[in-house]
Amino acid sequence: MKAYVLLAALLSSALLLLPPAATSSAPRPPPPASKGSSSAGAEGPQVDPRPRDYVGWKLLRIFPSSRPLLTALVASLRNSSQAVVVQVSQEELLADVGLPPKASLEGVLSSALPSPLPPLRSLDAPDAAHATPGREDQPRAEKKLDECQGAESPAGEVSLTRSKRRFSLDFLNWKTLPGFVEEKAKLDGTEPLAWDDYYRYDSIRRFALNLSASLPHVEYLDIGRSFEGRPLFALCFASKAADMKKLFKKKLLKLRRLRTKRGRDPDLAVLQKRNLVTRKRKTSKPYVLIEAGIHAREWIAPAVATYLAQELATLGRKFLKRVTVILAPLTNPDGYEYTHTTDRYWRKNRRTTPTPSCPGVDLNRNWGVGWGDPEGSSGDPCSEVYRGPESFSEPETQALRDLALVWMEKIRLYVSLHCMGRVILHPWGFTRAPSTKQRQLARIAKVMAKHLHRNNQTFVFGQTSHVMYTASGTVEDYMHGAGVKYAYTLELPEDSFELEPEKIIPISKAVWNTFLCTLGEIIKTDGIRSFCKTEKATGKLRKKPATKRKKT
């Protein structure tokens, strides 16, 4: 009986990942493009209009009396819009089917199977008074089943042998399996992080606050508010994190006063010079800036970022004596929450625009370097790459910019976590001309690809405008233009925005190990290199794919 309950629980978990009217192996058809979106700006599928919430559904196990009837039943149900076929066993002559809360099996079969419908009986009913009405031949079918099976019944035994089915009468018995989708309600933001699912904004923020409160080398940085008023935050990992937080507040106030006075940010040339001077000082500790979640639908990015945060916290001060890490795990909280509640494939933030039916700005087209280039972004609010009315028009990009500007002269490595495609991208994206640091950028990208490969992840790498497409106003280009020598976008696996939660930890571990080893190659000190532990891998690395990929 325990095995039976376990099987039911496993089946219910599997159904959560299935779209309606599809089998567990059938791919979900691409949904139609949303109204008002331009073809030039479309960057992937829009949200599937069919229901994705299976809470309240019931799982039925149907026992057809013959193999031909089982085949006909499954074929019909797979074409039904009201059912999901979860499992079929030709050996046991059974099929497990999910139905919506208000749907009846007889109603679904009446529209799915040709008339006349075979006799149908619920094995949930303790007596004939609870049997499905309108079936005068049910007692005969039940009697025939008892004759063929002896004292056994599908209600008490899951496995039915072939020898007990030597009869020709077609009939359908069914029973309800316990412990279905009600056991896994939709996440509401109160859950602690465990990297076994894609958690809501509130859970991610609470994780960051708890990490900061419990460890002296971790500090929570309040960097602003989103368009809808959600706190924007980052985590500072440093040997003297409390001093770093005080310095951050002081420098941030100074930066904003100077911006108000001048009416502009420091010139990029000035930032580049400061960064170069700082890098030449051997006593200067290098900084790393990691950002994730700038595109709302790319759920794997914040998941990996929070995993990196946990690993950084665990590694502790021994590592942080040599490097300081600033990590912003979710830079587009409004859009991220919208993907959990309304539109799974939403990309932008939730800014109101001149076109009320087309809200949102692409936060990765809103940065100062290359902003406004029509080839790499759009001025149409209905486009998914809408760049906004001006550079840094959005509170989310302003907050991340100011976070970077406070320590811009010390940042050696910048990594933006995205999804999808298994690609390591480096500047420039807004032009096909190479960076003056092209050789160094390519060398470290190759190192990253090598270590990802050693961790069972195969990536390609190259300049954004060559490998993917022209993208103007990106954060990667801005960071590089402001003096960050090594600036990268890491497009995490796979060729989908919907990765199974089981893949979070393997991908996160690969990124973590790659981060440690890449940092050792950049900083080139034995203290940092000692944290890199890899095994030899086989296979060749490719500089770039043969064809450009679709925009993400």
What is the tens place of the pLDDT at every residue in 153-199? 343 333 333 333 333 457 788 888 875 654 445 677 888 888 989 99
**Cα 68 to the center of its chain, rounded Å:** 41
Closest CA to 450 of 525, 521, 506, 548: 521
**308, 290 Cβ separation under 8 angstroms:** yes
Residues with Cβ within 8 Å of 212's Cβ and at least 6 positions away in sequence, in order, are 218, 219, 220, 235
Provide the mean pLDDT of the chain: 80
**412, 286 Cβ separation under 8 angstroms:** yes
| C-alpha distance from residue 421 to each of 51, 459, 492, 508 (Å) | 27, 8, 6, 16
DSSP-derived secondary structure for 124-144: T-SSGGGSPTT-TTHHHHHHH
**Cα 416 to the center of its chain, rounded Å:** 15
Rounded Cα–Cα distance for residues 309 and 320 (Å): 13
pLDDT for 265 equals 80
Rounded Cα–Cα distance for residues 374 and 28 (Å): 33
Confidence of residue 71 (pLDDT cuts 50, 70, 90): confident
Rounded Cα–Cα distance for residues 425 and 488 (Å): 6
Tokens of residue 305, six digits: 């970022």
pTM above 0.75, yes or no: no
Question: Which helix (H) or strand (E) is 86 found in, with range?
Answer: strand 84-89
**48, 19 Cβ separation under 8 angstroms:** yes
DSSP-derived secondary structure for 247-273: HHHHHHHHHHHHHHHHSSPPPHHHHHH
Residues with Cβ within 8 Å of 177's Cβ and at least 6 positions away in sequence, in order, are 8, 11, 12, 59, 60, 61, 96
Say if residue 2's pLDDT is above 90: no
Residues with Cβ within 8 Å of 101's Cβ and at least 6 positions away in sequence, in order, are 56, 57, 58
Helix (H, G, I), strand (E, B) or coil at 217: coil
Tokens of residue 89, six digits: 């066993």
Rounded Cα–Cα distance for residues 124 and 108 (Å): 18
Q: Which has more pLDDT, 347 or 65?
A: 347
Say if residue 412's pLDDT is above 70: yes
How many CB atoms are located within 10 Å of the residue 535 CB? 6
pLDDT tens per residue, range 276-325 = 877 777 667 899 999 999 999 999 999 999 999 999 999 888 899 999 99
Say if residue 36's pLDDT is above 70: no
pLDDT tens per residue, range 72-93 = 888 888 777 778 887 888 778 8
pLDDT for 98 equals 84
Rounded Cα–Cα distance for residues 305 and 292 (Å): 6
pLDDT tens per residue, range 12-22 = 444 444 443 33
Say if residue 334's pLDDT is above 70: yes
For the residues 525-531, what does the mean pLDDT come to?
85
pLDDT tens per residue, range 200-222 = 999 999 999 999 999 999 999 99
Lowest mean pLDDT among 1-5, 264-268, 503-507: 1-5
pLDDT tens per residue, range 456-470 = 888 999 999 999 889
Say if residue 239's pLDDT is above 90: yes
Q: Which residues are catalytic?
A: 491
Tokens of residue 231, six digits: 């706190």
The secondary structure of 144-208, three-state, reads: HHHHHHCCCCCCCCCCCCHHHCCCCCCCEEEEEECCCHHHCCCCCCCCCCCCCCCCCHHHHHHHH
Say if residue 150's pLDDT is above 50: no
pLDDT for 115 equals 76
pLDDT for 219 equals 97
Say if residue 477's pLDDT is above 50: yes
Omega prior to 116 cis, within 30 of 0:
yes
Strand-pair partners of 490: 417, 424
pLDDT for 179 equals 56
Q: How big is the CA angle at 208 (ends 203 and 213), to the nearest 5 degrees?
A: 125
Lowest mean pLDDT among 104-113, 276-285, 435-444, 542-551: 542-551
Say if residue 360's pLDDT is above 80: yes
Rounded Cα–Cα distance for residues 324 and 311 (Å): 14
Q: What is the CA radius of gyration of the chain?
A: 28
How many CB atoms are located within 10 Å of the residue 39 CB? 7
Residues with Cβ within 8 Å of 106's Cβ and at least 6 positions away in sequence, in order, are 117, 120, 132
pLDDT for 132 equals 43
Residue whose token pair is 């460890």: 215
pLDDT for 94 equals 87
Q: Which has more pLDDT, 227 or 532?
A: 227
Say if residue 47's pLDDT is above 70: no
Say if residue 438's pLDDT is above 90: yes
Strand-pair partners of 98: 59, 84
pLDDT for 16 equals 44
Q: Which has more pLDDT, 185 or 63?
A: 63
How many CB atoms are located within 10 Å of the residue 31 CB? 14
Helix (H, G, I), strand (E, B) or coil at 532: coil
The secondary structure of 474-529, three-state, reads: CHHHHHHHCCCCEEEEEEECCCCCCCCHHHHHHHHHHHHHHHHHHHHHHHCCHHHH
